[in-house]
Amino acid sequence: MVRLSVNINKVATLRNSRHEQTHGTTGRPSVCRATAHCIDAGAKGITVHPRPDARHITLADAREIAELLAPMRGEVEYNIEGDPRPELIDLVLELRPDQFTLVPVRVGELTSQAGWPSDTPREALAKLVERVQANGTRVSIFVDPEEAPIRWAASLGAKRVELFTEPYARAWNVGPQQARESFQHYVRAATLAHELGLGVNAGHDLDEHNLELFAALPYLDEVSIGHAILAEALFDGLSRVVKRYLALLSPLTRR
């Protein structure tokens, strides 16, 4: 079964809209409480993305979530994602999450807009990947579903890639034929990654509608979903929505 990692950034976004912002267990809504609800519903992964401006998840949040997840090590994976800035690398080395997803960050962006370009200088990133993995954390590289960036990610020594799925989501919104054509593009990307020895993650704009087809992607290890789950949870409840997504990822459900 494909692992579902719930991105809880938007819980912190809502909390941070109040001036009396606090962290982890005491803020409202609490990111730790949201984490617990996701796990109780069956999610096997939690994702956070502490950004430089701390507009949602903060470094303090990341530490409190790590403490909450520590007794579940080996059962629930903790994925910290973000750019290779020193304070975030220090946090990853300190907390030793199960996975660190390297994501390029553009100044002023609201959310990730693309994967790493294949012409990004590799030497410094390769050394960083080696350092993080030697510390016990698997590294995944956020890339577009194209040959060049996937091969570039493999050259860094990373264990996985995360395929940027916004293009697939846009194709799905156009129509079934466009969705199937885009999906086949991702099939080729995932197959190449597998041939290069990389595990395959995916994320960005996946939802209950487009996930049903995408869950059949060969070699898919994990999907990271946040915005859609939290948006639907406003009406249906977080635990119930997480369970619906888990059902979509179950091979038995898709038969």
Going residue by residue through the chain, which has 255 residues, state the pLDDT in tens, using 9 for 90 and above: 899 999 999 999 999 988 656 666 668 899 999 999 999 999 999 999 999 988 889 999 999 999 999 999 999 999 999 999 999 999 999 999 999 999 997 665 556 567 899 999 999 999 999 999 999 999 999 999 999 999 999 999 999 999 999 999 999 999 999 999 999 999 999 999 999 999 999 999 999 999 999 999 999 999 999 999 999 999 999 999 999 999 999 875 554
Catalytic residue among 37, 56, 204, 222: 204
**Would you state the pLDDT for residue 111?**
60
The size of the chain, in residues, is 255
pLDDT at 80: 98
Is residue 251, in this structure, part of any structural domain at all? no
* 163 vs 213: CA distance, rounded Å: 15
How is the chain classified by DSSP, letter by letter?
Answer: -PEEEEE-HHHHHHHTTSTT---TTTSSS-HHHHHHHHHHTT--EEEE---TT-SSS-HHHHHHHHHHHGGGTTTSEEEEEE---HHHHHHHHHH--SEEEE----TT-SS------TTS--HHHHHHHHHHHHTT-EEEEEE-SSHHHHHHHHHTT-SEEEEE-HHHHHHHHH-HHHHHHHHHHHHHHHHHHHHTT-EEEEESS--TTTHHHHTT-TTEEEEEE-HHHHHHHHHH-HHHHHHHHHHHH-HHHH-
pLDDT on residue 23? 64
Domain count, the chain: 1
Tokens 């590294």 locate to 139
pLDDT at 203: 97
In a domain, 132, yes or no: yes
Q: Which of 188, 150, 228, 216 is nearest to 2 (CA)?
A: 216
- Is 67 an annotated catalytic residue? no
| Residue 170 is assigned to a structural domain of this protein | yes
Name the packing angle between helices 238-249 and 227-236 (round to 10°): 130
Catalytic residue among 64, 81, 146, 162: 81
Q: What is the per-residue pLDDT for 18?
A: 80
- What pLDDT was estimated at residue 144? 97
In a domain, 193, yes or no: yes
227 is catalytic: no
Is residue 252 included in any domain, yes or no?
A: no
- The domain that holds 82 is classified in CATH as 3.20.20.70
Q: Which domain holds residue 148?
A: 3-246
Q: Is 221 part of a structural domain of the chain?
A: yes
Catalytic option among 23, 49, 162, 232 = 49
pLDDT of residue 14: 93
pLDDT of residue 61: 96
In a domain, 55, yes or no: yes
For residue 77, the tally of other CB atoms under 10 A from its CB is: 20
Give whole-number Cα distances, 100 to 20, 61, 144, 167, in Å.
30, 16, 17, 23
Please give the pLDDT value at position 252: 56
Q: Identify whether 81 is a catalytic site residue.
A: yes
Question: Which of 241, 242, 253, 249 has the alpha carbon at shortest distance from 222?
Answer: 249
In a domain, 229, yes or no: yes
User: What pLDDT is stored for residue 140 in this prediction?
Assistant: 98
